Structure 1
Amino acid sequence: MPTQQSFATGSACPELEAGTLRVYSMRFCPYAQRALLVLTYKNIPHEVVNINLKNKPEWFLQKNPLGRVPTLEKDDRIVYESAICCDYLDQVYPDNKLTPDDPYRQARDKMTVEVFSQFVSDFQKMMSSPPQEKPESLQKIKNNLCEFESSLTARQGAYFGGNAVQMLDFLLWPWFERILIFAKVVPLTFSLEDYPALCEWTKKMPECPAVQKCRLDPQQFLEFYKSTKAGAPDYDVPKTSQS
């Protein structure tokens, strides 16, 4: 993952050379990681500018009024929202195509992403809610994991894309990477071992070169998570000796 220092309120926007594709990112953001995975997999030349999402630069809000990453910029064109960015990249740079050609498979993948959005919301609630509120979120998470397990099994391959990594794999992977990190240090009250196909998928995905290049440093991520929970997110957590 990129390690450039993040730009905050009051900073000047770095000059963008004509013809250069820039992605505005944040080192620990799973949504930004989606776009970085696609860029890396498709070998698309690009530069990364990291954003302090708590104290966003004024110039960034002018480019993206929602103030979210990832945001793509090239010449006079700006694209934002992670799934839209990934789809845009796959169309503009058609080599190593990630989106299936079949309309039904495209629709099925988009439905899975919608279900996954709810899964992410429930997981975040479980991680931040008091103990008495956790059971409801946990049950929703388990229901979603059962759906993902069935979906993956039906695709008759190691990946959500079947026998090869496709867009859906990259759209889902960043959160599972984080779950695997959390599972080593925090009791999650659920285990991916209960979902054999999903568990095998989480072991297979790190074999993908793009995933290797965009992987999180667990220690860095946990330091960032701690700072976020304390109310002062450190977007510039230094590299560790393992980085």
Structure 2
Amino acid sequence: MRFCPFAQRTRLVLAHKNIPHETVNVHLRPVEAKPNWFLERNPLGLVPVLEKDGKIVYESVVCNEYLEAMYPEKKLLPSDPFELAQQKMLQERLGKMTGPAMKYRMSGGSEETFSELQNFMKLPEEVLGKQGNFFAGDNVGMIDYNLWPFFERVETYTVIFNREILPKDKFPRLRAYIERMMSLPAVKECYTTPEQMLEFGKSSEGGNPNYDLGLKE
């Protein structure tokens, strides 16, 4: 689904590794809209799903690690087991941003949840001071692509509530990181504008998500 952050994770890895693929978009809501052929491939009815030569893999992190193993060119995961564990633990910590981000969105941009979200963002700001250009280090890695969809959505809230969440004076490293990520070909290829995200969100709230928003005939 084009607006799903978890599907975007795998689209980013496919783009980064230049893996030839066909994208099939599905409607996820209402539940009865999910086609049977899709549920046969993933009984959970969730995206992303990868299929190659009759072999099926789902769950975004699993899909991305599968792609890393199958297509080792342009590596995204470290070879050292301890470094790999460190990055996975860091991803779990930073991934918690979805909690305060969703609270901010659902509250309609309240002052309390705004402060909570900004306080959480001090963590990735601090981490970048130790890691380098990216959360993976000097070069982009799997952790960056797995986290990026959520940073992209946090940026959307700046448009929704007309209030910058990550101002440069408070979050200089994060602002530089976002600019760095936005310059990557894979991110450019998979990027959804805040305006498109906002329009899709409005259609979802109305109970009739416009999954075809922005598609060219």
Indicate the residue corresponding to 1:167 in structure 2: 142
Q: Which has the higher helix share?
A: 2
Does 1:158 pair with 2:136?
Answer: no
Does 1:123 pair with 2:98?
Answer: no
* Contact map agreement 2:158 2:165 (CA 8 A) in 1: no
User: 2: CA distance between counterparts of 1:46 and 1:239?
Assistant: 18
Match of 2:156 among 168, 175, 181: 181
User: 2: CA distance between counterparts of 1:192 and 1:65?
Assistant: 42
Does 1:205 pair with 2:181?
Answer: yes
Structure 1 residues 219 and 42: CA distance shift in structure 2, 3 A: same
Structure 1: runs of 5 or more not aligned: 1-25
* Contact map agreement 1:224 1:233 (CA 8 A) in 2: yes
Deviations 1:143-200 (A, max 9, x none): 4312211221111x21112221111111111121222233133245733432221111
Matched residue SS, 1:50: coil
Deviation at 1:93, TM superposition (A): 0.5
Matched residue SS, 1:47: coil
Does 1:74 pair with 2:55?
Answer: no
What are the residue-to-residue correspondences of 1:92-103 with 2, within 5 Å?
92-103=70-81
User: 2: CA distance between counterparts of 1:77 and 1:120?
Assistant: 31
Deviation at 1:139, TM superposition (A): 4.8
Indicate the residue corresponding to 1:34 in structure 2: 9
Does 1:87 pair with 2:65?
Answer: yes
Does 1:230 pair with 2:195?
Answer: no
Structure 2: runs of 5 or more not aligned: none
User: 2: CA distance between counterparts of 1:87 and 1:169?
Assistant: 14
User: 1: CA distance between counterparts of 2:195 and 2:165?
Assistant: 22
Deviation at 1:75, TM superposition (A): 1.9
Q: Which amino acid aligns with 2:80?
A: D
Structure 1 residues 104 and 143: CA distance shift in structure 2, 3 A: farther
Does 1:145 pair with 2:111?
Answer: no
TM-score between the two structures when normalised by the length of structure 1: 0.80
Deviation at 1:120, TM superposition (A): 0.8
* Contact map agreement 1:161 1:167 (CA 8 A) in 2: yes
Deviations 1:85-141 (A, max 9, x none): 111101110000100122222112211221233211321122113677x72x44543
User: 2: CA distance between counterparts of 1:239 and 1:230?
Assistant: 20
Matched residue SS, 1:183: helix
Q: Percent identity at matched positions?
A: 42
Matched residue SS, 2:66: helix
Q: Which amino acid aligns with 2:96?
A: Q
